[in-house]
Amino acid sequence: MPRSRKTQIIEALFNERWQGPGRPLSDATVSLGQVEVAIRLHNEANPTQTLSTKNPANFFKDFIRKKRSANENWPKTVLARGYTARQVTGEGQCFEFVPLEPGQKDPFPVSGIHTPGPGVPIHQLQSASMPLASRRLGRRDEAWLIQVLARLHVVETHLALHSKRPYVQVDLLQTNIKLARTEIDALFLAIEGQSGEPNVAFREVIIACEAKGLRDDVLEDQLVAQVKATFRIADIRQEVVIPMAAKAIAPSRIYMVQFAPVDRKTASGLSTLAVESEAIYELVPPVPGVGK
């Protein structure tokens, strides 16, 4: 029996679409309804190994939370036929099967974004300004982590201390943005000086921030999808998006990563990101829920 019951379900969904070597899948996208049907069929065939059908939206999202387990549980027959998958959201979609990149051996390559190296600087950051009432409801989820980032101005602090570019202002635009094919935890509008003197010339850039808790990896393909989706938002007229990631790595410790800016003209062909700056922020006093 596979390590995950989802392995069998994913394999069955793939087999329904497989048309033979050298031919495209009949339909690479898997809908929420199709996931629910596949779970029901699995449950009927395996009455002692059932899965819940109540929340098909989390079926693939939970599967890829940890790349190590996702690689272990990905169907070997699907990998052998040259396919992995990626999450898609909106319009009743769940995930889609995609061909492996040339030379790709693992279905979900570990990018190294999920853990900081030994030389990453560590800063203490005050959390005394957070209301006591908000601390009582501290949780492990991404929504709480984003709230902590916003209340303590962690993004602004990181850009001020570690960015190669001079920023004169950063404002939170919106949180929990659900788009057709992805979700973005937070968008910020930053005013960037284009020379060594911040008051000489300015431009507006958008920061797309992804938040991850202690048990989840930062997935590069999600960040890439968020950049592309940001440019498709009708009200976003800015020409540059800067991806950022915030991951809780220990109790009250947040690992922040800033990636190189992406220009609108080149976003459609984007497949990888380059780390531009990184740091760890220790919240003092501790904030409940962060890194638990």
Q: Report d(CA 291, CA 139) in Å as an integer.
A: 9
Instruction: Decide: 278 and 254 in contact? Cβ < 8 Å.
Output: no
Which pLDDT score is estimated for 260? 94
Q: Report d(CA 252, CA 200) in Å as an integer.
A: 38
Q: How far is CA 145 from the centre of its chain?
A: 13
- Based on C-alpha coordinates, what's the Rg of the chain? 21
Which pLDDT score is estimated for 162? 94
Residue type (1 letter), 142: E
**DSSP-derived 3-state class of residue 252:** coil
Instruction: Put the strands of the sheet holding 29-31 in their side by side order.
Output: 29-31, 93-99, 83-87
Q: Which helix (H) or strand (E) holds 212?
A: strand 202-212
Q: Which stretches of the chain are DSSP H helices? A: 5-17, 32-45, 59-63, 67-73, 76-80, 132-136, 142-152, 154-162, 220-232
Q: Per residue of the chain (292 residues), give pLDDT as tens.
A: 345 789 999 999 999 999 999 999 999 999 999 999 999 999 999 988 889 988 898 899 889 888 888 999 999 999 999 999 988 877 889 999 999 988 889 998 776 565 788 889 999 999 999 988 887 777 888 899 999 999 999 999 999 999 988 898 999 999 999 887 788 999 999 998 865 555 567 899 999 999 999 888 888 888 998 999 999 999 999 999 999 999 999 999 999 999 999 999 999 888 888 999 999 999 999 999 998 8
**DSSP-derived 3-state class of residue 17:** helix
Q: Which helix (H) or strand (E) holds 257?
A: strand 253-259
Pairing of strands 240-250, 262-263: antiparallel
Q: What angle do CA 78, 65, 58 make, to 5 degrees?
A: 85
Which pLDDT score is estimated for 2? 46
Query: Where do we find the tokens 């919240």?
Result: 283
Phi and psi for 264 in degrees, rounded to 5? -55, -40
**DSSP-derived 3-state class of residue 66:** coil
Q: Report d(CA 19, CA 116) in Å as an integer.
A: 42
Residue type (1 letter), 227: V
Which pLDDT score is estimated for 112? 54
